A and B are shown apart, each in its own frame.
Chain A
Amino acid sequence: MQRTILRKAGITAAIAMFAGGSLAACGGSGGEGGEEAGSDTLRVTLANHVWTEQIIAAIPEFEEETGLTVEVTQLGEDQLSAQYNVQLNAGTDEIDVMMYRPLQEGKLFAQNGYLADLTERVEANSEWDWSDFQQGPVDSTTYEDKVVGIPTITEREVLYYRTDLLEQAGLEVPETLEELEAAAKKINEENPDVAGFVARTGKSPAVTQFSSFLYGFGGDFIDDEGNSAVASPEAKEAYAYYGRMINQYGPENVSTDMSWPEAMAIFTQGGAAFYTEADSLYQNATDPANSQVAENVGFAPMPAGPAGSKPYNVPSWGLGINEASKNQDNAWKFVEWATSQEMVLKIQQEGVPGPRQSVWANPEGTATYPEDLAAAIEVSAENGVGHDRPLVINVGEAREVVGEPIVVGITGGDVEDAAEKANEAFQKFLDGERK
């Protein structure tokens, strides 16, 4: 017994250091153990994604072609961010290729000098063809006229719906937000166990999916002068709409912590009729192994608001090269291979929308997609907006600020008041970043 207590005390003392030491510890590691220039081992850090699974399956081909050995570290989104935060802060050279979110961390990483300048490399190989990449994604991986990343995955918000429930209620696929609300209401009233509508509810994760509603009402997060616009009449309407849809027709006792896995789970378990989400996640809903409603899932473009149908159309992930890496030439070989026409086509056929125009123009590129989804994507790519969150340096904090009125709406609170407060806080945040 005594020993147990002693050991516990020892552990406690060790943990006590965490409180004070966690930050500083970040500064100490790294630096040593660097590889010789052009090492044969390439260290690649990737996020959990269908794209990653496809790449990992194809890596043996790359290894055979180049004679390099690829070591992959695969992490969940949040862990990946935390990992980069610690490692890149310490100036590690133990990451060569890094998968990152251009809209979330791109500005911050580029400003901190974590991302190597790839401008010369992308222009060197005309066969690989940098000009083939869609302009929107390219803009968001470019920082101060320097190319710092290559887009790999693009996404747009689309409407997922249950064909059987719509048929049963005798409804057409909603084309406007008004029709969507009426349909959600009708289905919810006729089937009390099924929610009319579900979407992300977490303060930060909901922001990106809320953005298409915001644009549809004619609003945006930031106005042309760079000031906060989240208390504009359009934004207030959008906040009220999104919150009302979940509060009144959403699942009962809905949690305000849901990101896509939780919201998707409700939809795929048959708990909701409509669901707005990124198109790149569609396989979760159509794969019978994951989804109980796989047979009955339909897709439609984002319903139009007063300002039209304005879904976001963004690059959700890209590949960058660590500036501190001593293996940049080999790292570029990997990036070039992973974003080549053939790879992008292959992965897109497996269900991950890519960034290359030629692949979208190629009928093979969308052959494997459900027809209605391919049509919805085509519409969305045309009238899409190039961002799905405020374009600032510290996106993490900004999302929490502008996401506050969403959760207030979902819980039935005073959205008007919440939007005013968020506006004030967001303006302060923007002023702070401008300094």
Chain B
Amino acid sequence: MTVASLPQKSAWKAYSDWANNHRKWLFAAPAMAFVAILIIFPLAWTLYLSLTDASGSVRAESEFIGFANYTEVLTDTDRFWPAVARTFIFTGAALLVQMVLGMCIALLLWRPFKGEKWVRVAILLPLVATPVAVGMMWRLIFDPNIGFANQALAWFGIPAQPWLSGQDTALATVIFIDIWQWTPMVVIILLAGLTSLSEEPDEAARIDGANAWQRFKFITVPLMMPTIIVAILLRSIDALKTFDLLYATKGRGGGSFNEVETLNVYAYGLSFDYNDYGLSSTVLIIFFLIIIAAMWVLTRRRKDVQK
């Protein structure tokens, strides 16, 4: 017997050595499992569905049809491309007004004043309301026959407007509602940025004789740039994906003429009204790619600013 008898490691010791050497994997494992189950699996499944002709029931047999759905969606000028356009018009218009308006309000609230607390709470109110409730409320206000909006117009002798029920006015009206609801969030973010700014550059500029506009344009805005981009990033992702507000105000398909049908509403209709899961998944995957692209552009811009 010449075999050297190595000291027997206990199983527990072996494990703890292994664990000690692979700490980073071990501690990250729960988080990674979470990501895999709740993000990667659904995404992969949707990607798979988008390559099949699944319809009727997800459990029904479906055929693998390659990129046929993608060809169909990308050449669809009746529903898909108008929905893409509406998604961007909605997001762009809402975002632009929210940023400008949000910045104005944040600047007004920047310096302490009497009753500041109450004003801040009042401004935050739209933000805490549920979008569906907000949608229902505005639907009543904008009702063409009995709504408050048209009554208010009547006091000034302005004829009644169709608002949400007009083919050309519906999209603008939902953009208005989105602005009403989400400007407060932009205000909060910008206000946080403003309060953390140091006074010195502003003071120095003032001594050098810069007027208020110059100080805003050349001092405040450049210093605020990282915060502004965060606000744009959060708001644009949210706005791109808006669903509840649109569905609560105009119902399925974004109205009878698809007036406010964005990509999200379109994809919902494809799966829940038409039961066409393959096509719906395709739209969602394309939509997902669009959001990723938008986020990538914005985060790159943010890094450039921070350099």
Given A17-B38, A256-B256, A89–B57 Cβ distance below 8 Å?
Answer: yes
For B275, give its contact among A1, A108, A403 (CB under 8 Å).
Answer: A108
Nearest residue (CB) in A for B143 is A255
Given A5-B189, A108-B56, A20–B241 Cβ distance below 8 Å?
Answer: no
Which stretch (A161-169, A230-238, A391-399) binds chain B? A391-399
How far does the alpha carbon of A97 sit from the alpha carbon of B257 in the complex, in Å? 36
A24 touching B165 by the CB < 8 A rule?
A: no
**Across-interface contacts of B271 in A (CB, < 8 A):** 22-23, 85
**Across-interface contacts of A333 in B (CB, < 8 A):** none
For A266, give its contact among B145, B189, B277 (CB under 8 Å).
Answer: B145
**Across-interface contacts of B191 in A (CB, < 8 A):** 1
How far does the alpha carbon of A15 sit from the alpha carbon of B38 in the complex, in Å? 12
**Across-interface contacts of B59 in A (CB, < 8 A):** 89, 91, 112
A255 touching B165 by the CB < 8 A rule?
A: yes
CB contacts between A and B, total, < 8 Å = 153
Q: How far is the CB of A123 from chain B (nearest CB, A)?
A: 28
Contact with A along B232-255 (1 / 0, CB 8 A): 001001100100000000111101
Which stretch (B6-14, B199-207, B211-219, B278-286) binds chain A? B278-286
B210 at the interface (CB under 8 A from A): no
Nearest residue (CB) in B for A8 is B234
A2 at the interface (CB under 8 A from B): yes
Given A8-B234, A23-B284, A112–B145 Cβ distance below 8 Å?
Answer: no
**Across-interface contacts of A393 in B (CB, < 8 A):** 56
B256 touching A202 by the CB < 8 A rule?
A: yes
B272 touching A15 by the CB < 8 A rule?
A: no
How far does the alpha carbon of A80 sit from the alpha carbon of B84 in the complex, in Å? 29
**Across-interface contacts of A403 in B (CB, < 8 A):** 256
Which stretch (B42-50, B92-100, B110-118, B299-307) binds chain A? B42-50
Mind listing 17 A-B residue pairs with CB under 8 Å?
Answer: A8-B234, A12-B234, A15-B238, A15-B241, A23-B271, A24-B46, A25-B42, A112-B60, A114-B57, A202-B256, A253-B165, A255-B143, A255-B164, A271-B145, A394-B274, A403-B256, A411-B167
- Give the interface of B toward A (CB within 8 A): 38-39, 41-46, 49, 56-60, 143-146, 150, 160-162, 164-167, 185, 188-189, 191-192, 195, 230, 234, 237-238, 241, 250-253, 255-257, 264, 271-277, 280-281, 284-285, 287-288, 291
* Contacts A1-B191, A203-B253, A256-B256 supplied; 16 other A-B pairs, CB < 8 Å: A1-B195, A12-B237, A15-B238, A21-B46, A23-B45, A24-B41, A24-B49, A28-B41, A81-B272, A85-B272, A89-B58, A204-B256, A253-B145, A257-B164, A393-B56, A396-B273
